[in-house]
């Protein structure tokens, strides 16, 4: 039996192969739930949690160094703040055309993707905030791990 | 339109601070203090707009959706009163923490959480919708859980965990109350609920009101749910103790109790009696437990419990004088209690300990701090002409008016015990001249931002008695009386 | 009627665990149970007899009775709030383990009174 001497972190080979195939499907599913949140169940919260589950999937299967090299905690925090700023600026832009949070994009053709006013950009902003907020919290739990003493 | 700025400004401050605060040095301090100053200016503008003519109530529908399908933001005179309290104390504590937080790392995180707490409290005050209150309540509570555990030492983590557990039990009870209210009245708007249940006397409403009162009492640290407070307040950093004890337990506890009992639910004498007895219990137990303490901040935390009892006593009487006395005591207590916690922070900054027996020669080294502490101690004990005297006088007069002579005697006795406790603090903490010279060499007065906050709050303590003067009375206090005492005026103004 | 009683029983089970258990992680799990029971109760309150899901589709007629959609929208927010409190509790429990080397709350009584 050949020993896997290159990377000893993470789980076995089967888990790593299946992970590589499924994370793209998970991200696609999460984006679908976010974008069609005004026509079916879902929306920003559920979509954000599903999108970030794919990143956590990679952390569990490959070990944390693989992800932290690409998305370190600074980038996750910046993306999360961008989501929050996007949501607040949508609200303030509604302000500029009358009332706070007003629906200024107009209703399109019913049942199509670009209908329902400001629900679509708001869902995307919430997806960024909830998703990367959860990723920052998860990274914070595993990165600053137990040092002895003090 | 001015109402929404109270929530937009702090939230913008939080997000911009999280983005830029970690890269640019000293950015957090300047930016957040500018935002706090703008909030104070806005509060004064809305005070002069609302209170200088007949009773206006500003009502704002978020997004343009009509009542009761949308979220309502309401500003009447009680709202303006609370907004002034929160924003002014927040501004002074923000300036104080410029120099205090230099001893902690990563101070941009502290400023983000601090501003988030102010945003949450502003949102609770201006909101007129039941679930909006819940969301902002959670925002303020969660940032305070994280702030209590900020310097990650052994004591802070344990205190923060106890605080989280009790806070989440109270949130669970409040959510249960909201669910039952929605299922009974099928609407979430406060004015609409008031109109629907105005003449309803069924039993389920008493249970719902009871659940709400228990939930809010845990947040306001009323006996017998007070045991998170003496652990959480000493362990937090000093500016956070000032905010927690001075503002948070009043906004999330007493303001919501007043709103729900007087403006939303129909007039209920049994609940007022329960609050009256809880107030007396808190007063007595708080001050008796405070007499044993030698830790300065723990002593101040127990006195907070006792003073919250005074406010509930005033509100539970039900007469107009009692209500005005209780609310005025809320304003006074936030100012002098924040002042006392800031002085304890100054002592800890210089001497690194909180034990009262170890301090020495504070009077000679730090004269400004001593002056502020003396003003604060005399205010809390109720010595004329400081502001504590006037509000306690109103409460005692209201007790005698409604023929509760025993409550008046208890209030006077508790006031005397408070004076005794603070004389002990002044003698051992500030004026002791023991021979501990090695302890106090090389120490000088605290830096300028800390002195500025403490002296400003002390000056406010001295002059706030002027709010009872006949013409200035109309500016703030008599408008509150009409808003609370004729409770059904709330929904009649909004729903016309 | 039975559903309401079961939801409230779950709330009291969570409350019992919160008060009497000694391990920090069991306290956190009891809190999660309590939170989930309240969210469940909120959704069950919105049930209407013979109603279908409250989503307009091209193939449905618009005269069918629907269940109440307001509690579903509010519960989404409440679940996320419960999630953030849980993450905060777990982070603090991890730091407590670092400092005190135990999860037992009877041994962490540093502060008294």
Of B7-11, B246-250, B461-465, the least confident: B461-465
Confidence of residue A29 (pLDDT cuts 50, 70, 90): very high
- Residue B248 gets the label, from left (phi > 0), alpha (psi -120 to 50) or beta, of alpha
- Residue A67's pLDDT is what? 82
**C79 at A interface, C-beta within 8 A:** yes
Average pLDDT over residues B252-276: 88
- Run of H or E including B421: helix B405-425
- Chain C residues in contact with B142 by the CB 8 A cut-off are 81, 84-85, 88
Check whether B470 has a pLDDT greater than 80.
no
- Mean pLDDT over the full length of chain B: 86
> Which pair of tokens denotes residue B51?
């209170």
Checking if the pLDDT of B43 tops 50, the result is: yes
Q: Are residues A81 and B62, on separate chains, in Cβ contact within 8 Å? A: no
Position B494 pLDDT exceeds 90? no
**Chain A, window 39-98: residues with a beta carbon less than 8 angstroms from a chain C beta carbon:** 39-41, 43, 45-46
Question: Which chains have 3+ CB pairs within 8 A of A?
Answer: B, C
Place of tokens 């991200």: A27
Which residue in chain C has the smallest CA separation from B298? C113
| ipTM summary value | 0.93
B161–C42 CB contact, under 8 Å: no
Which DSSP string do the residues of chain A spell out, in sequence order? -----S--SSS-HHHHHHHHHHHHHHHHHHHHHHHTTTTSS--HHHHHHHHHHHHHHHHHHH-HHHHHTTS-HHHHHHHHHHHHHHHHHHHHHHHHTSSTT---S---STTSTT-STTHHHHHHHHHHHHHHHHHHHHHHHHHS---S--
Binned at pLDDT 50, 70 and 90, residue B347 comes out as confident
- pLDDT class of A148 with cuts at 50, 70, 90: very low
**Strands, DSSP E only, in chain C?**
none
What proportion of chain A, given as a percentage, has pLDDT over 90? 20
Q: Are B197 and B134 in contact (CB under 8 A)?
A: no
Cβ–Cβ below 8 Å for A103 and B64: yes
Q: What percent of chain C has pLDDT over 90?
A: 35
A14: DSSP letter: H
Both tokens of C69, joined, read 């959609």
The pLDDT value given to residue B440: 60
Q: pLDDT of A41-79, one tens digit each?
A: 888 899 999 999 998 888 888 887 888 888 877 888 888
Dig out the tokens for C79 from the structure.
């679940």
**Tokens coding B244:** 């927690």
Minimum distance, in Å, between the CA of residue A97 and any CA atom of chain C: 26
* Terminal Cα distance for chain A, rounded: 44
| Range of weakest confidence among A98-112, B16-30, B279-293 | A98-112
Q: Do B16 and A85 touch (CB under 8 A)?
A: yes
Distance CA B253, CA B216 (A): 5
For B15, what's the count of Cα atoms within 13 Å in the CB-facing half-sphere? 18
pLDDT reported for residue A150:
39
Query: What tokens were used for A113?
Result: 């993707």
**pLDDT above 60 (res A147):** no
Q: What are phi and psi for residue B61, nearest 5 degrees?
A: -100, 120
Total residues belonging to chain A: 150
The pLDDT, as a whole number, for residue A108 is 60
Q: How confident is the model at residue B123 (pLDDT cuts 50, 70, 90)?
A: very high
Q: What is the model's pLDDT at position B493?
A: 75
Cβ A137–C98 below 8 Å, yes or no? no
Q: A35 CB near a chain B CB, below 8 Å? A: no
B414 or B486: whose pLDDT is higher? B414
User: Per the CB < 8 Å rule, is B149 touching C11?
Assistant: no
pLDDT at B197: 85
Q: What value does the mean pLDDT take over residues B370-383? A: 88
C65: exposed, middle or buried (Cβ count in 10 Å: 0-12, 13-18, 19+):
exposed
> In the numeric block, which tokens belong to residue B400?
């005698």
* Least-confidence region, from A61-75, B153-167, C68-82: A61-75
Residue B493 and residue B75: Cα distance in Å, rounded? 11
Tell which residue, B57, B206, B197, B68, has the closest CA to residue B129.
B68
Tell whether the model's pLDDT for residue C30 goes beyond 90: yes
Nearest to C55 among A41, A45, A140 (CB): A41
Interface contact flag, C38 B155, Cβ < 8 Å? no
End-to-end CA distance of chain B: 19
pLDDT reading at B93 higher than 80? yes
What is the DSSP secondary-structure string of B160-221? Answer: HHHHHHHHHHHHHHHHHHHHHHHHHHS--BHHHHHHHTTT---HHHHHHHHHHHHHHHHHTT
pLDDT at B152 (0 to 100): 77
CA distance B182 to B196: 12
pLDDT of residue A120: 85
| Cα A55 to Cα A23: distance, rounded to the nearest angstrom | 8
Per cent of chain B over pLDDT 70 is 96
**What local confidence, expressed as pLDDT, does residue B159 receive?**
87
Cβ atoms C82, C38 nearer than 8 A: no
Which pLDDT value is given to residue B480? 77
């Amino acid at each position: 039996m050949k020993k896997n001497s290159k990377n000893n972190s993470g789980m076995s080979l089967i888990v790593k192969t299946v992970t590589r195939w499924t994370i793209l499907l998970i991200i696609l599913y999460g984006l679908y739930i976010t974008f069609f949140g005004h026509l079916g169940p879902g929306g920003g919260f559920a979509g954000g949690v599903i999108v970030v589950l794919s990143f956590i999937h990679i952390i569990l299967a490959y070990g944390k160094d693989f992800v932290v090299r690409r998305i370190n905690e600074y980038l996750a925090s910046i993306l999360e703040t961008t989501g929050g700023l996007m949501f607040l600026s949508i609200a303030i832009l509604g302000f500029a055309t009358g009332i706070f949070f007003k629906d200024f994009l107009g209703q399109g053709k019913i049942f199509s993707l670009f209908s329902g006013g400001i629900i679509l950009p708001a869902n995307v902003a919430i997806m960024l905030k909830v998703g990367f907020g959860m990723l920052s919290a998860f990274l914070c739990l595993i990165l600053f791990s137990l040092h002895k003493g003090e | 339109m001015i109402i929404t700025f109270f929530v937009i400004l702090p939230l913008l401050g939080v997000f911009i601070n999280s983005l830029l605060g970690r890269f640019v040095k000293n950015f957090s301090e300047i930016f957040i203090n500018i935002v706090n100053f703008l909030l104070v200016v806005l509060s004064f503008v809305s005070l002069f707009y609302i209170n200088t003519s007949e009773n206006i109530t500003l009502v704002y529908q978020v997004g343009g959706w009509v009542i009761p399908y949308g979220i309502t933001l309401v500003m009447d005179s009680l709202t303006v009163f609370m907004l002034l309290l929160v924003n002014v104390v927040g501004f002074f504590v923000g300036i104080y923490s410029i120099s205090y937080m230099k001893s902690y790392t990563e101070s941009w995180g502290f400023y983000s959480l601090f501003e988030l707490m102010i945003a949450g409290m502003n949102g609770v005050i201006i909101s007129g919708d039941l679930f909006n209150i819940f969301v902002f309540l959670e925002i303020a509570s969660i940032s305070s859980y994280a702030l209590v555990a900020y310097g990650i030492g052994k004591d802070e983590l344990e205190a923060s965990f106890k605080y989280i557990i009790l806070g989440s039990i109270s949130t669970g009870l409040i959510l249960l109350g909201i669910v039952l209210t929605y299922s009974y009245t099928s609407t979430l708007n406060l004015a609409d609920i008031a109109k629907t249940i105005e003449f309803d006397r069924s039993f389920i409403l008493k249970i719902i009101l009871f659940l709400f009162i228990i939930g809010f009492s845990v947040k306001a640290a009323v006996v017998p749910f007070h045991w998170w407070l003496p652990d959480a307040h000493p362990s937090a950093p000093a500016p956070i103790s000032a905010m927690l004890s001075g503002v948070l337990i009043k906004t999330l506890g007493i303001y919501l109790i007043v709103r729900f009992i007087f403006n939303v639910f129909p007039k209920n004498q049994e609940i007022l009696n329960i609050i009256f007895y809880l107030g007396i219990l808190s007063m007595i137990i708080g001050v008796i437990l405070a007499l044993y303490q030698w830790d300065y901040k723990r002593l101040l935390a127990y006195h907070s419990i006792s003073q919250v009892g005074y406010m509930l006593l005033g509100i539970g009487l039900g007469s107009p004088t009692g209500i005005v006395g209780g609310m005025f005591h809320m304003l006074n207590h936030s100012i002098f209690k924040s002042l006392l916690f800031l002085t304890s922070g100054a002592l800890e900054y210089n001497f690194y300990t909180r034990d009262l027996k170890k301090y020495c020669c504070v009077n000679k080294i730090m004269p400004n701090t001593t002056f502020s502490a003396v003003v604060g101690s005399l205010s809390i004990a109720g010595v004329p002409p400081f502001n504590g005297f006037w509000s306690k006088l109103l409460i005692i007069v209201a007790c005698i008016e409604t023929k509760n002579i025993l409550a008046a005697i208890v209030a006077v006795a508790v006031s005397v015990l408070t004076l005794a406790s603070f004389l002990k603090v002044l003698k051992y903490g500030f004026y002791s001249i023991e021979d501990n010279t090695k302890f106090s060499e090389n120490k000088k007065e605290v830096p300028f931002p800390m002195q500025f906050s403490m002296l400003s709050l002390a000056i406010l303590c001295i002059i706030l008695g002027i709010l009872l003067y006949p013409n200035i009375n109309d500016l703030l206090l008599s408008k509150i009386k009409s808003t609370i005492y004729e409770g059904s005026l709330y929904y009649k103004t909004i729903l016309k | 009627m039975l559903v309401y009683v079961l939801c409230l029983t779950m709330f009291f089970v969570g409350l019992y665990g919160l008060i009497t258990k000694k391990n920090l992680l069991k306290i956190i799990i009891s809190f999660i149970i309590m939170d989930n029971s309240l969210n469940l109760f909120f959704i069950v309150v919105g049930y209407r007899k013979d109603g279908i899901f409250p989503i307009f589709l091209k193939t449905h007629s618009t005269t069918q009775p629907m269940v109440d959609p307001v509690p579903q929208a509010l519960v989404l927010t409440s679940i996320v709030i419960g999630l953030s409190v849980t993450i905060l509790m777990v982070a603090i429990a991890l730091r407590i383990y670092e400092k005190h080397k135990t999860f037992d709350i009877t041994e962490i009584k540093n502060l008294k009174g």
